[in-house]
Amino acid sequence: MVRKLFLICGILSSLLYVAMNVFVPMRWEGYSSASRVVSELSAVGAPTRSVWVPLGIAWAVLMTAFGWDVWASAGGNHPLRVVGALLIAYGAFNIIPWPPMHQREVLAAGGGTLSDTLHIVWSFVTGFFMMAAIGFGAAAYGRRFRLYSISTIVLLLVFAGALTGMNAPRMQANLPTPSIGVWERIGIAAFLLWVVVLAVALLGRRGTAPQAWVVP
């Protein structure tokens, strides 16, 4: 029962992150989820930072608990065991709040500091954990889950990677970025959904995927 609850933590972590992106921006008048990235909600001086940070820690704890159970449920499935280890590392890395970025106006005025540089480093590190976990997940189960995992990686690379990255210089220059938040959140949503699918698969059959996913 305890391990089942830990698996449910994976689903809860995704639901919490979605809720954070729906309700936290409401505390910032003028914030647009379409034209601003998620990191701006925890930026230095942002009116939402005091709410986002503790919720982010709670999300990271849920993710770490989920990763532990994926690892414990793997049995002889070595790729799945690696997925669990990567999710533990991903969650634990995010329990400590990220070095915050500064708001756009400050960056455009040349007020960026080491914290902004480290924020970018943190982004790459978490991105690595996400991509690696999905990649090993593709090798853990059958053909359908493998194709689904590959599709998730493509979505992350295109939306959270390429399209968001192309707009990053405009954000730092405080220029209009009408769709940067949309692109980034599509990529994030792809990962959150992958976590839910993996959790449901493990809940369906302890240590193995439901038969529908185990296609040679």
d(CA 197, CA 11): 8
Average pLDDT of 173-200? 97
- pLDDT-wise least confident of 140-144, 197-201, 205-209: 205-209
- Asked whether residue 212 carries a pLDDT value surpassing 80, the answer given is no
Q: Are residues 74 and 80 in contact, defined by beta-carbon separation less than 8 angstroms?
A: yes
- Quickly state the pLDDT bin for 211 (edges 50, 70, 90): very low
Residue 157 has pLDDT above 70, yes or no: yes
Tens-digit pLDDT profile for residues 10-57? 999 999 999 999 999 999 999 999 999 999 999 999 999 999 999 999
Rounded CA-CA distance 91/93 in Å is 5
50-100: pLDDT as tens digits: 999 999 999 999 999 999 999 998 989 999 999 999 999 999 999 999 999
What interhelical angle do 143-155 and 180-204 show, nearest 10? 160
pLDDT value of residue 214: 43
Q: How confident is the model at residue 206 (pLDDT cuts 50, 70, 90)?
A: low
Rounded CA gap, 63 and 125, in Å?
A: 16
User: pLDDT band for position 3 (50/70/90)?
Assistant: confident
Task: Give this prediction's pTM.
Answer: 0.92
